[in-house]
Amino acid sequence: MLNNLSIAVLPFRNMSSNIENDYFCDGLTEEIINALAKIDGLKVTSRTSSFFFKNKDVPVTKIGKDLNVSTIIEGSVRLSNNTIRITAQLIEVQNDFHFWSETWDRKLENIFAVQDDISLLIADRIRENFGHFDIKDKLVNKQTDYIEAYQLYLKGNYHFQKWNPEDLELSKNYYTKALEIDSEHAQSNYGLAQYYAMMAGLGFLPKDETYKEASKYVNKALKLNPQLPEAHYGLASISYWYEWDFKKTVQHLNKALEVNPNFAPAYMHFAFHYCSLKKFEQALEHIEIAIGLDPLSAEVYFAKGYIHYIMEDYEASIKALDICLELNPINLLAIIIKACCWLCQDKIQLVIAYFNSELPATIDTATKYGMLGIAHTILKDTEKQEYYVDLLNTEIETSKAERAQFFMFLILIHSGKKEQAFNWLSGIIDSKPTLMLTLFGDPLLNSVKHDPLYKKITDKVFSSTFAVKEKTAKKKALLTKEQKNEYAKKLISCMERKSSFLNPDLTLKSLAAQLDIHPNQLSWLINHEFDKNFSEFINHYRVETFKRISKDPKNAHITLIGLAYESGFNSKTVFNTFFKKETGMTPLQYLKHSS
């Protein structure tokens, strides 16, 4: 079901003569996404899905349908020396209706102020046209006094998003240079933290010392700016995967969502958490929220596929994993879990055929030997099992040791060597190997899940999770009953006696100033007391005025659009749209019918 209070910010086009300014356009887009995402009640599509359409010629209606949003914002940036021109326009998806546009010409050093202006204006226009949500007085704060440091940070982000070793190293260099200019720039500190976490996760750097570096930089970023949702999420990831501290994990996830209610990775992480507790209904509920916010993200579909795999719904798992692999054909974990589904479905030959074929570069030898070793173990092919076990033992001496041990444990279980497997697991459990958290609920371990020794080990790992509760906030009414009645009367008086709606430039903020009320309260009042959004409320009076003055013989010489302007409308398209919405007829049909 389409949420009217939903928006996707498409990548702003680079109108500069220098193509290298793409990094700045991407950075501006991301800052606007982050600013709007802080608004509770407004659904904002995540960066991954919005950027899927970069440099693609796709109709707005198709984009809106794919992202399941009611509104699209698109724009452009022209950067020249120390000046910047930004244009932005809002498009109502269903009718491909451009209902607002604006242009800003500013100095580059004022970039944070213009980001705030753009974000606030976009939020105001969406609220006026689609319904109520609260907006803070400021959405974007100044990150640094050094514009060069900010530009270097944006370049770091630009390369980080490419997710390959060469660009990751470039991102590190840019973040480091930014910190040389401003060591207190929170976002650049977080940039280095995400670099180290990514390099450790991909196995390009030693895990222990690299995670320590990631932890150092993410904690510094959070100390400098406690309102960085990414930093809270970074600490949640470290707490979960590296420290196995599930209570701290949920605390950080709650904080990330408190700062940014649209932060899809936090919902995805909650889904993993509930899955580990076998609370599958909550897990699927959270993963669907994540998909709603980031519908073209390979990672969220992997998470959905993984949850269905743990639930032993293998067809649903493969369906989600296939979507993941369509979006990212080299997603290693999706390939592994899909193969595990085949194993559980007794489609062993599919696994053997796949891992003996030409494989994507992301599939390392530890994964290949491990999957083939498990497959031949299940088939009771002792000779080939021993062959792959020998190969896995050589992998244990490399940087892929953890993944090799992960597969070795499964082979021991399926070859009936439970005692040896449990002894090994007991010996390494205190080192908190990352991949083991994904293994404990694995259907490939169904034969030992009720074994007292195995249960003792898993209970020790997950003992702290059951006391953890997800934080939910209750929304309060913005006006008391007495205030609501008082301001409703003032509002009606403003319309019927002062005819404020005749001002074509009337906005929610300017009307709120007339009533001496906060715009958030006025928006709430119109929505709850009159069951309309601001535009519907104001344009109702304008339509009624048009109907009245169009019947007056004194106005016979005035054109149709002239009468619309006299009624307070400032756009022919808006007039026609709202008139038909109110009356079910076009203005011309109405006049003919009336006469």
| 22-52 pLDDT tens trace | 888 998 999 999 999 999 889 999 999 999 9
- The answer to whether 102 and 88 have CB atoms below 8 angstroms apart is yes
**Residue 313 belongs to some domain of the structure:** no
CATH assignment at residue 524: 1.10.10.60
Among 466, 497, 532, the domain boundary falls at 466
Helical ranges in 311-435 per DSSP H: 314-327, 332-344, 348-355, 365-378, 382-395, 401-414, 418-428
Cβ neighbour number for residue 208 with a 10 Å cutoff: 10
524 with 453, same domain: the answer is no
End-to-end C-alpha distance for the chain, whole angstroms: 41
502 with 433, same domain: the answer is no
CATH assignment at residue 131: 3.40.50.10610
Q: Which domain holds residue 431?
A: 364-466
48 with 84, same domain: the answer is yes
pLDDT value of position 575: 92
Euclidean distance between CA atoms 591 and 548, whole angstroms = 11
Query: How far are the Cα atoms of 86, 89, 122, 147, 206 from residue 76, in angstroms, in the given order?
Result: 6, 9, 15, 20, 42
* CA atoms 144, 147, 148, 151: torsion sign: positive
Q: Is residue 541 exposed (0-12), middle (13-18) or buried (19+ Cβ within 10 Å)? A: middle
440 with 407, same domain: the answer is yes
DSSP bridge partners of 75: 88
* DSSP conformational letter for 432: -
37 with 91, same domain: the answer is yes
The DSSP line for 528-579 is: HHSSS-HHHHHHHHHHHHHHHHHT-GGGTTS-HHHHHHHTT---HHHHHHHH
**Residue 166 belongs to some domain of the structure:** no
Euclidean distance between CA atoms 396 and 390, whole angstroms = 10
**Residue 125 belongs to some domain of the structure:** yes
- The answer to whether 210 and 199 have CB atoms below 8 angstroms apart is yes
* DSSP conformational letter for 240: I
Which residues, given as ranges, of the chain have pLDDT below 70?
Answer: 1-3, 163, 202-203, 398-400, 462-475
Among 466, 501, 519, the domain boundary falls at 466
* CA atoms 509, 511, 513, 519: torsion sign: negative
Look-up: residue for tokens 């993984």?
A: 306
Q: Side chain identity at 202, as an amino acid letter?
A: L
42 with 131, same domain: the answer is yes
Euclidean distance between CA atoms 501 and 254, whole angstroms = 42
Euclidean distance between CA atoms 99 and 91, whole angstroms = 6
450 with 522, same domain: the answer is no
Q: How many domains are contained in the chain?
A: 3
**Residue 12 belongs to some domain of the structure:** yes
pLDDT value of position 176: 97
CA 39 to chain centre: 13
Euclidean distance between CA atoms 256 and 358, whole angstroms = 41
**Residue 304 belongs to some domain of the structure:** no
Cβ neighbour number for residue 568 with a 10 Å cutoff: 22
372 with 418, same domain: the answer is yes
Euclidean distance between CA atoms 492 and 366, whole angstroms = 72
Look-up: residue for tokens 């408190």?
A: 258
**Residue 97 belongs to some domain of the structure:** yes
Give Rg (Cα) of the chain: 29
DSSP bridge partners of 90: 73, 100
Q: Is residue 95 exposed (0-12), middle (13-18) or buried (19+ Cβ within 10 Å)? A: exposed
Among 108, 142, 176, the domain boundary falls at 142
112 with 62, same domain: the answer is yes
Query: How far are the Cα atoms of 303, 412, 427, 439 from residue 423, in angstroms, in the given order?
Result: 30, 11, 6, 16
18 with 82, same domain: the answer is yes
**Residue 275 belongs to some domain of the structure:** no
Euclidean distance between CA atoms 562 and 539, whole angstroms = 16
Cβ neighbour number for residue 136 with a 10 Å cutoff: 12
* CA atoms 349, 316, 307, 399: torsion sign: positive
Cβ neighbour number for residue 587 with a 10 Å cutoff: 21
454 with 502, same domain: the answer is no
What are the φ/ψ torsions at residue 375 (nearest 5 degrees)? Answer: -60, -50
Question: Mapping DSSP to helix (H, G, I), strand (E, B) and coil, where does residue 341 land?
Answer: helix
Euclidean distance between CA atoms 163 and 586, whole angstroms = 53
Euclidean distance between CA atoms 6 and 292, whole angstroms = 10
- The answer to whether 534 and 127 have CB atoms below 8 angstroms apart is yes
pLDDT value of position 458: 78
17 with 124, same domain: the answer is yes
In three-state form (DSSP H/G/I as H, E/B as E, the rest C), the secondary structure along 516-536 is CCCHHHHHHHHHHHCCCCHHH
pLDDT value of position 466: 45
Question: Mapping DSSP to helix (H, G, I), strand (E, B) and coil, where does residue 321 land?
Answer: helix
**Residue 190 belongs to some domain of the structure:** no
